[in-house]
Amino acid sequence: MFFYKEFLCLCLVLLMILIIQINSLKKIMMR
């Protein structure tokens, strides 16, 4: 169970990073 929680946490962090990257890319594309 611990491994599952850790994996879920890691996925959440990666998802947040991905969203930030996409937002940055959109800002660059808008110019």
Residue 4 CB burial class (10 angstroms; 0-12, 13-18, ≥19): exposed
pLDDT of residue 31: 77
Closest CA to 24 of 16, 5, 1, 13: 16
Specify the residue for token string 């990257």: 21
Determine the pLDDT at residue 23: 96
Residues contacting 22, CB < 8 A, separation 6+: none
Which domain range does residue 23 map to?
A: 1-31
- What is the residue whose two structure tokens read 């491994």? 3
Domain count within the chain: 1
Alpha-carbon 5 to chain mean position = 17
Per residue in 1-31, pLDDT (tens digit) is: 668 899 999 999 999 999 999 999 999 988 7
